[in-house]
Structure 1
Amino acid sequence: MSWTNWSAVTGHGLDNFVFIAYEKKHHRDLGGGVARISFNRPDKMNAMSPDVIDEMFRAFYDANHDATIGVIVVAGRGRHFGVGGDVEWEQWGLRSVFYHRYPHNRLVRMSSKPVIAQVQGYCIGGHNHMVYCCDFTIAADNSVFGQAGPRVSSPADGAFVPYLSKVVGAKKAREIWMLCRKYKAEQALEMGLVNTVVPLEQLEVEVDRWCEELLAVSPGCLEILKAAFDQEMDGYKEFGTISAQLYPDFFDMPEGREGGAAFLEKRKPEFWTIRKREAELRRQLREEYEARRHKD
């Protein structure tokens, strides 16, 4: 066999993970190694939260500081890669992400090592926009991709939104983000959202092939190339800046709360009922103001 077995990484701060699994293996002939960071909440379809991102940061940090590692693989345990943010947590937790933390996409941007996304099943929301920020995406034929933010009142801005235009083109990027459609693996391949699609049972083997190709060339050159490609993200605004400017109280207003509530209650959101009520209140306020001004 060309590869050693996967081995769980141990060490201070690296062997007590709850939400991810962190492993490494090395190629016997080529000498270099691969670090695999796997979402490990299969009972929650690998839903995302800051606790997940905190553990991922430690794993990414270790992999990038290990001179024997040439590639990082991001995967998901269970049937699905991941379905985006944990909506129950998002009812309050999105505030902390927008105003005090960083998105998981930044881990990919900060990584000096090439990152491969290994995707099966659902790849939705936050998982999808992390995946298209990765250097390569290998998808199983049962994969489904898409965004969900506007459906659940979860706004997004920052580098990873406009960056999708670089991946699939401006029109398709707006379609993906604004309409929240879902795309099967072959559709994702056709639009350039993934590099290749293989049968589910061949997914790990295919990822190993791509890792072998990357380990066969100069790791220093790959790091320079990755940094050169990634620099196009640096001209965009930071995550949360536009949302905070346009809607500083979004999460506390009815529209900001309605999407998540409707999702958890398994009903259609009533966004336009809320907007109509807002329009009525605005009209009422204007009329009251004009009446008071003319009276005075």
Structure 2
Amino acid sequence: MTGSIDYVAKDGRAYITINRPEKKNAMTSAMLDQLMDGYDRAEADDDVRVVVLQGAGDDFSTGHDLAEVGTEYGATTYDDKGRPRKPSQRARLLHDKRYIERFERIFKFLKPTLSLVKGYCLGGGLYLAEASDLVIAADTAKMGHPEQKLGLSGAAYFAAWEMMTLGPRKARELLLMADVWDAQTCLANGLVNKVVPRASLEDAGEEWAERIVRLPRDGIVMGKAATNLAMNALGIDAQFSYGHVLHALATNVRYEPDEYNFMKQRRDKGVRASNHEREAFYTEKEKA
């Protein structure tokens, strides 16, 4: 199964569900395109006053499918001696610009957005939650940017928003340490609005959605427009201008012999094994 993005609109709500539970809702590029289609539909439907984003199964989303990471810049090219060449900077910038525009689309969406987070919410999945206006988390939520251990070390699409929300030091901790925070830690640091028991997550989402849909349509849209203007005045949305540049540079790092090269290990051992080795590399160093 490659997964899907499911869309249902009713009672003033658009429910968008990331549906790939067997992979913890890791998203392929095709799924991310489907996700944008869902937001386009919701924005065009005058009866929709709030978008509720959720994941199927036990998790929200572990972000971009790591099986695609490293190949998203296009097919490998070779020099005249048959040696593989790295993707060009122009290919990197073009892809990363298109990638960040998806999160910007949600961030600047013209209607209120609510994410219901349970289980893992990592990497690109966390960006989806951060791009939403409101986040309710289940007590099972685990949120963070472990993908920073691929070598990014702070080149994040939502770095400005995270600094505003968490404060500069906690934002740097989230990215540089690349830890996964539990629900209460996320609540204490402002990543989520509230935490509820897992069994109550959907009910809590319905309660807030109902309160939003009772507001007038024009009031909802003008309120969101005011929010977007405030974000612009604070300089937060500047992250969408520089994020893809920093990401393109960060994905072109040179690994020294004593450093963990995830891309090379994934090529040789596969995604699952290289993921475990990556985590062990850092935790074993910490214990040493």
TM-score range, shorter chain: 0.7 to 0.9
Other structure's SS at 1:241 match: helix
Q: Give the alignment's Cα RMSD to 1 decimal.
A: 2.8
Aligned pair in 2 of structure 1 residues 211, 193: CA closer, same or farther (>3 Å)?
same
Mark the CA change 1:80 to 1:18 in structure 2 (over 3 Å): closer, same or farther: closer
Deviations 1:2-39 (A, max 9, x none): xxxxxxxxxxxxxxx9521111221xxxxxx1001111
TM-score for both structures, normalised by structure 2 = 0.77
Q: Deviations over 1:230-277 (max 9, x none)?
A: 342333324311344x55x707x54799224446333248999xxxxx
Q: Indicate if the aligned counterparts of 1:88 and 1:260 stay in contact, CA closer than 8 A.
A: no
Query: Offset of 1:184 from its aligned partner?
Result: 0.9
How has the CA–CA distance of structure 1 residues 260 and 202 changed in structure 2, closer, same or farther, with 3 Å as cutoff?
farther
Following superposition of structure 1 onto structure 2, how do residues 101-250 of structure 1 map, counting pairs within 5 Å? 101-103=98-100, 104-153=102-151, 157=155, 160-231=158-229, 232=231, 233-236=236-239, 237-244=241-248, 246=249, 250=252
C-alpha contact (below 8 Å) 1:258/1:270 kept by paired residues: no
Q: 1:47 aligns with which of 17, 22, 26?
A: 26
2:261 equivalent in structure 1? 258
Contact 2:5 2:17 in 1 (8 A): yes
Aligned to 1:73: 52
- Structure 1: 5+ residue runs without aligned partners? 1-16, 27-32, 273-296
* Alpha carbons 1:156, 1:240 under 8 Å: kept: no
Instruction: Give unmatched runs, 5+ long, in structure 2.
Output: 75-90, 283-288
Q: Are residues 42 and 175 of structure 1, via their aligned partners in 2, closer, same or farther at CA, if it must alter by over 3 Å?
A: same
Counterpart-to-counterpart distance in 2, 1:257 and 1:230: 40
- C-alpha separation between the residues in 1 aligned to 2:52 and 2:73? 26
Alignment check: 8 A CA contact 2:141 2:182 kept: yes
Q: Distance in 1 between matches of 2:148 and 2:120?
A: 18
Alignment check: 8 A CA contact 1:87 1:260 kept: no
Distance 1:97 1:64, change over 3 A: farther
Seq. identity, %: 27
Query: Which TM-score applies when normalising by structure 1?
Result: 0.75
Counterpart amino acid of residue 125 in structure 1: G
Counterparts of 1:66 and 1:173, CA distance in 2: 36
Task: Tell me the distance in 1 between the aligned counterparts of 2:281 and 2:58.
Answer: 32
Q: Is residue 19 of structure 2 the alignment partner of residue 21 of structure 1?
A: no
Structure 1 position 110, deviation (Å) = 3.5
2:29–2:64 Cα contact (<8 Å) kept: no
Q: Which residue of 2 aligns with 1:267?
A: 277
CA 128–68 in structure 1, closer or farther in 2 if over 3 Å, else same: same
Q: Which residue of 2 aligns with 1:5?
A: none
> Per the alignment, in what secondary structure is the counterpart of residue 261 of structure 2?
helix
Shift in CA distance, 156/88, structure 1 to aligned 2, threshold 3 Å: farther
